[in-house]
Amino acid sequence: EAGVAQSPRYKIIEKRQSVAFWCNPISGHATLYWYQQILGQGPKLLIQFQNNGVVDDSQLPKDRFSAERLKGVDSTLKIQPAKLEDSAVYLCASSLVSYRDTQYFGPGTRLTVL
Amino acid sequence: GENVEQHPSTLSVQEGDSAVIKCTYSDSASNYFPWYKQELGKGPQLIIDIRSNVGEKKDQRIAVTLNKTAKHFSLHITETQPEDSAVYFCAAHTGANSKLTFGKGITLSVRP
Protein backbone atom coordinates (compact mmCIF):
# COMPACT_ATOMS: atom_id res chain seq x y z
CA GLU A 1 0.00 0.00 0.00
CA ALA A 2 1.44 3.36 -1.02
CA GLY A 3 1.94 5.86 1.77
CA VAL A 4 1.17 9.56 1.94
CA ALA A 5 2.98 11.42 -0.83
CA GLN A 6 4.17 15.00 -0.55
CA SER A 7 5.98 17.36 -2.86
CA PRO A 8 8.25 19.13 -3.07
CA ARG A 9 10.54 17.69 -0.39
CA TYR A 10 12.49 20.92 0.01
CA LYS A 11 11.76 24.53 -0.82
CA ILE A 12 13.78 27.71 -0.28
CA ILE A 13 12.11 31.07 -0.82
CA GLU A 14 12.59 34.65 0.21
CA LYS A 15 10.23 36.37 2.60
CA ARG A 16 7.11 37.84 1.05
CA GLN A 17 7.16 35.24 -1.72
CA SER A 18 4.45 32.61 -2.06
CA VAL A 19 4.78 28.83 -1.93
CA ALA A 20 2.50 25.84 -2.35
CA PHE A 21 2.75 22.28 -1.07
CA TRP A 22 0.95 19.25 -2.43
CA CYS A 23 -0.27 16.12 -0.65
CA ASN A 24 -1.75 12.87 -1.92
CA PRO A 25 -3.18 10.80 0.96
CA ILE A 26 -3.42 7.05 1.22
CA SER A 27 -6.07 5.78 -1.16
CA GLY A 28 -9.47 5.59 0.49
CA HIS A 29 -8.59 7.78 3.46
CA ALA A 30 -11.33 10.29 4.11
CA THR A 31 -9.51 12.52 6.57
CA LEU A 32 -6.47 14.63 5.70
CA TYR A 33 -4.38 16.77 8.02
CA TRP A 34 -1.73 19.45 7.52
CA TYR A 35 0.74 19.97 10.35
CA GLN A 36 3.54 22.48 10.89
CA GLN A 37 6.63 21.17 12.67
CA ILE A 38 9.10 23.80 13.80
CA LEU A 39 12.61 22.55 14.56
CA GLY A 40 12.77 20.96 17.99
CA GLN A 41 9.01 20.81 18.46
CA GLY A 42 6.19 18.40 17.89
CA PRO A 43 3.80 18.72 14.95
CA LYS A 44 1.08 21.32 15.32
CA LEU A 45 -2.20 20.88 13.45
CA LEU A 46 -2.96 23.61 10.94
CA ILE A 47 -6.06 22.22 9.26
CA GLN A 48 -8.08 19.01 9.13
CA PHE A 49 -10.34 17.96 6.26
CA GLN A 50 -12.91 15.20 6.21
CA ASN A 51 -13.53 14.43 2.57
CA ASN A 52 -13.50 17.96 1.11
CA GLY A 53 -14.97 19.73 4.13
CA VAL A 54 -12.94 21.56 6.79
CA VAL A 55 -13.26 20.03 10.28
CA ASP A 56 -10.76 22.21 12.15
CA ASP A 57 -8.74 25.20 10.97
CA SER A 58 -8.54 27.02 14.28
CA GLN A 59 -4.73 27.17 14.24
CA LEU A 60 -4.35 28.14 10.58
CA PRO A 61 -3.07 31.73 10.14
CA LYS A 62 -5.77 32.58 7.68
CA ASP A 63 -4.30 35.95 6.72
CA ARG A 64 -1.46 34.15 4.91
CA PHE A 65 -2.20 30.42 4.83
CA SER A 66 -4.86 28.71 2.76
CA ALA A 67 -5.63 25.09 2.00
CA GLU A 68 -8.02 23.20 -0.18
CA ARG A 69 -8.92 19.61 -0.84
CA LEU A 70 -10.64 19.30 -4.15
CA LYS A 71 -12.78 16.22 -4.78
CA GLY A 72 -11.86 14.89 -1.35
CA VAL A 73 -8.53 13.44 -2.44
CA ASP A 74 -5.39 15.58 -3.04
CA SER A 75 -4.75 18.72 -1.07
CA THR A 76 -2.65 21.85 -1.43
CA LEU A 77 -1.42 24.18 1.29
CA LYS A 78 -0.39 27.69 0.26
CA ILE A 79 1.48 30.43 2.07
CA GLN A 80 1.28 33.97 0.72
CA PRO A 81 3.22 36.02 1.65
CA ALA A 82 5.78 33.95 3.56
CA LYS A 83 7.47 35.19 6.74
CA LEU A 84 10.75 34.11 8.29
CA GLU A 85 8.87 32.34 11.09
CA ASP A 86 7.17 30.07 8.55
CA SER A 87 10.42 28.13 8.18
CA ALA A 88 9.44 24.62 9.25
CA VAL A 89 8.60 21.15 7.99
CA TYR A 90 5.05 20.89 6.69
CA LEU A 91 3.64 17.42 7.24
CA CYS A 92 0.59 15.92 5.63
CA ALA A 93 -1.18 13.00 7.26
CA SER A 94 -4.27 10.96 6.50
CA SER A 95 -6.55 8.59 8.38
CA LEU A 96 -9.22 6.18 7.25
CA VAL A 97 -12.35 7.89 8.52
CA SER A 98 -11.98 9.99 11.65
CA TYR A 99 -9.89 10.96 14.64
CA ARG A 100 -10.31 7.42 16.02
CA ASP A 101 -8.17 6.02 13.24
CA THR A 102 -4.38 5.98 13.04
CA GLN A 103 -2.84 8.98 11.34
CA TYR A 104 -0.23 8.11 8.72
CA PHE A 105 2.29 10.82 7.93
CA GLY A 106 4.07 11.71 4.72
CA PRO A 107 7.79 12.59 4.61
CA GLY A 108 7.12 16.32 4.84
CA THR A 109 8.25 19.41 2.96
CA ARG A 110 11.10 21.37 4.54
CA LEU A 111 10.52 25.08 3.93
CA THR A 112 13.27 27.64 4.45
CA VAL A 113 12.31 31.31 4.27
CA LEU A 114 15.27 33.68 3.84
CA GLY B 1 -6.94 23.12 25.40
CA GLU B 2 -4.81 20.04 25.90
CA ASN B 3 -1.17 20.41 26.96
CA VAL B 4 1.24 17.50 26.57
CA GLU B 5 4.68 17.52 28.14
CA GLN B 6 7.52 15.06 27.64
CA HIS B 7 10.49 14.49 29.87
CA PRO B 8 13.39 14.12 29.65
CA SER B 9 14.16 15.92 26.37
CA THR B 10 17.11 13.67 25.59
CA LEU B 11 17.94 10.16 26.68
CA SER B 12 21.04 8.09 26.03
CA VAL B 13 21.18 4.38 26.81
CA GLN B 14 23.55 1.51 26.17
CA GLU B 15 22.52 -1.04 23.58
CA GLY B 16 20.56 -3.80 25.27
CA ASP B 17 19.37 -1.62 28.13
CA SER B 18 15.78 -0.46 28.59
CA ALA B 19 14.51 3.06 27.90
CA VAL B 20 11.51 4.73 29.49
CA ILE B 21 9.99 7.96 28.19
CA LYS B 22 7.27 9.72 30.17
CA CYS B 23 4.53 12.10 29.12
CA THR B 24 1.97 14.06 31.09
CA TYR B 25 -1.26 15.55 29.80
CA SER B 26 -3.60 18.16 31.20
CA ASP B 27 -7.09 17.34 29.92
CA SER B 28 -8.74 14.56 31.90
CA ALA B 29 -11.12 14.01 28.96
CA SER B 30 -8.26 12.77 26.76
CA ASN B 31 -8.89 9.19 25.74
CA TYR B 32 -6.37 8.27 23.04
CA PHE B 33 -2.59 8.30 23.43
CA PRO B 34 -0.34 7.40 20.49
CA TRP B 35 3.45 7.29 20.36
CA TYR B 36 5.27 8.25 17.18
CA LYS B 37 8.87 7.64 16.13
CA GLN B 38 10.49 10.13 13.76
CA GLU B 39 13.76 9.41 12.01
CA LEU B 40 15.82 12.10 10.38
CA GLY B 41 14.22 13.39 7.19
CA LYS B 42 11.08 11.31 7.61
CA GLY B 43 7.58 11.86 8.87
CA PRO B 44 6.44 10.51 12.25
CA GLN B 45 5.48 6.84 12.29
CA LEU B 46 3.03 5.33 14.78
CA ILE B 47 4.72 2.67 16.91
CA ILE B 48 2.08 1.99 19.55
CA ASP B 49 -1.05 3.56 20.98
CA ILE B 50 -3.35 3.11 23.93
CA ARG B 51 -6.92 4.10 24.70
CA SER B 52 -8.19 5.21 28.07
CA ASN B 53 -10.05 1.98 28.80
CA VAL B 54 -6.76 0.05 28.91
CA GLY B 55 -3.92 0.39 31.42
CA GLU B 56 -1.14 -1.28 29.45
CA LYS B 57 -0.41 -2.47 25.95
CA LYS B 58 2.58 -4.38 24.64
CA ASP B 59 3.97 -5.10 21.19
CA GLN B 60 7.18 -7.12 21.17
CA ARG B 61 9.90 -4.88 22.69
CA ILE B 62 7.62 -1.88 23.07
CA ALA B 63 5.00 -1.26 25.74
CA VAL B 64 2.91 1.69 26.85
CA THR B 65 1.37 2.22 30.27
CA LEU B 66 -1.35 4.70 31.17
CA ASN B 67 -2.17 6.19 34.57
CA LYS B 68 -5.39 8.16 34.17
CA THR B 69 -5.47 9.31 37.78
CA ALA B 70 -2.05 10.91 37.54
CA LYS B 71 -2.62 11.88 33.89
CA HIS B 72 0.59 10.42 32.59
CA PHE B 73 1.62 7.67 30.20
CA SER B 74 4.97 6.10 29.44
CA LEU B 75 6.74 4.34 26.58
CA HIS B 76 8.94 1.41 27.51
CA ILE B 77 11.49 -0.01 25.07
CA THR B 78 13.35 -3.13 26.15
CA GLU B 79 16.56 -4.59 24.68
CA THR B 80 17.29 -1.33 22.86
CA GLN B 81 19.09 -1.47 19.52
CA PRO B 82 20.95 1.25 17.59
CA GLU B 83 18.05 1.46 15.13
CA ASP B 84 15.83 2.60 18.00
CA SER B 85 17.75 5.90 17.93
CA ALA B 86 15.25 8.56 16.82
CA VAL B 87 12.96 11.29 18.13
CA TYR B 88 9.90 9.97 19.95
CA PHE B 89 6.70 11.99 20.28
CA CYS B 90 3.78 11.32 22.56
CA ALA B 91 0.37 12.77 21.81
CA ALA B 92 -3.09 12.97 23.33
CA HIS B 93 -6.55 13.28 21.85
CA THR B 94 -9.80 14.11 23.59
CA GLY B 95 -12.10 12.71 20.95
CA ALA B 96 -14.56 14.19 18.52
CA ASN B 97 -14.14 17.83 17.54
CA SER B 98 -10.66 17.95 19.01
CA LYS B 99 -7.19 17.58 17.61
CA LEU B 100 -4.17 15.44 18.34
CA THR B 101 -1.80 17.42 20.57
CA PHE B 102 1.87 16.43 20.45
CA GLY B 103 4.62 16.78 23.00
CA LYS B 104 7.92 18.40 22.04
CA GLY B 105 9.68 15.09 21.49
CA ILE B 106 12.58 13.29 23.06
CA THR B 107 15.76 12.32 21.28
CA LEU B 108 16.74 8.77 22.15
CA SER B 109 20.32 7.72 21.44
CA VAL B 110 21.29 4.07 21.74
CA ARG B 111 25.06 3.63 22.12
CA PRO B 112 26.47 0.49 20.46
Q: Transcribe chain A into DSSP letters.
A: ----EEE-SEEEE-TT--EEEEEE--TT--EEEEEEE-TTS--EEEEEEETTEEEE-TTS-TTTEEEE-GGGS-EEEEESS--GGG-EEEEEEEESSSTTSPPEE---EEEEE-
Tell me if chain B has a CB within 8 Å of the CB of A53. no
From chain B residues 15-44, the ones with a CB under 8 A of any chain A CB are 32, 34, 36, 41-44
Residues of chain B with pLDDT under 50: none
DSSP character at residue B83: G
pLDDT of residue A72: 83
- Tell me if B105 and A42 make a contact (CB, 8 A cut-off): yes
pLDDT of residue B67: 94
What's the whole-number average pLDDT of chain A?
A: 94
What is the mean predicted confidence (pLDDT) over A77-95?
97
Confidence check: pLDDT of A86 > 70: yes
